[in-house]
Amino acid sequence: MSNRGRSHASPEPTTGADAQAQPTLRADAEDQPTLRADAERNRERIVTAAQEVFAEWGLNAALEKIARRAGVGIATLYRRFPSRANLIAASFERKMADYATAAEHALDNPDPWTGFCWLINKICAMQAADAGLKDLIAMRVPASSAVDELRSRALQNLEHLIQRAQRQGTLRSDFVSADVPMLLFANAGIVTATHDEAPDTWRRFAAYMIDAFRADPSGSPGGSAPSRGQHQARVRGPERATQPA
């Protein structure tokens, strides 16, 4: 039988443009993991740089300074962190985790007053060591951030600790958890004013405050008193550090 008249379907020849497009698509797919890895490395560099810069200069540090230290452009920083609050939340997640862990540790102490005193000293020390952390209490961070969740967990443990110490009769009955941020605001001012001349002054201030919180104040603060020269230097006022351009 003749095959004349029958049509044989044959694959259409691949044009030059199609031939080039197919390997390009495969190459793009192969490049995606590399692009994601690069983006994650950039994010880690930005967070690390932000932690360092915020610790040195506080939370108002120029974001351009952070980008330069991270080795990225300012546009890359903003792609990863659209706002300063987003960057702060990412940068201080570890610090807030330390704070939450400290609150849990204090709550586990069988003596609630000892646990309370330890926690107050701990968070004041954390403020003294990090210029950014002392500013964080005045900042609002995104409500969905891990920092906000950790801060809420720490607050819950703090409130339980306060209740235990008050039932024990060692913590004054009118003390509330909102008094702790008030203490930290005051401690932040002490840290800023005395950082250069008498960096351990915050210890004496914390001891005074702890004694004031006691149900039966002893009137005996800890820590060493600043010298006359240190006091005079503070009265003259610390020179404000300026950020290099």
What is the tens place of the pLDDT at every residue in 22-75?
A: 444 444 445 556 657 888 899 999 999 999 998 888 888 999 999 999 999 999
In one-letter notation, the amino acid at residue 91 is S
Q: CA gyration radius for the chain?
A: 29
What pLDDT sits at residue 142?
Answer: 63
Please provide the distance, in angstroms rounded to a whole number, between the alpha carbons at the two ends of the chain.
90
Distances (CA, A) of 170 to 28, 211, 244: 66, 11, 49
What pLDDT sits at residue 25?
Answer: 40
What pLDDT sits at residue 137?
Answer: 59
What pLDDT sits at residue 7?
Answer: 47
Provide the phi-psi class of 136: left if phi over 0, else alpha when psi is between -120 and 50, else beta: alpha
What are the structure tokens assigned to 193, written together?
Answer: 């004013």
| 118-159 confidence digits (pLDDT tens) | 999 999 999 888 877 766 655 666 655 687 788 889 999 999
171-208: b or e for each residue (b if 16 or more CB lie within 10 Å)?
beeebeeeebeebbeebbebbbbbeebbeebbbbbbbb
Distance CA(185)–CA(198), nearest Å, equals 18
Architecture of domain 92-236: Orthogonal Bundle (1.10)
Distances (CA, A) of 225 to 70, 124, 162, 200: 41, 17, 29, 9
What pLDDT sits at residue 32?
Answer: 52
Find which of 145-159, 197-211, 220-234 is predicted with most confidence, using mean pLDDT.
197-211
The domains of the chain are located at 32-90, 92-236
CATH 1.10.10.60 for domain 32-90, yes or no, is yes
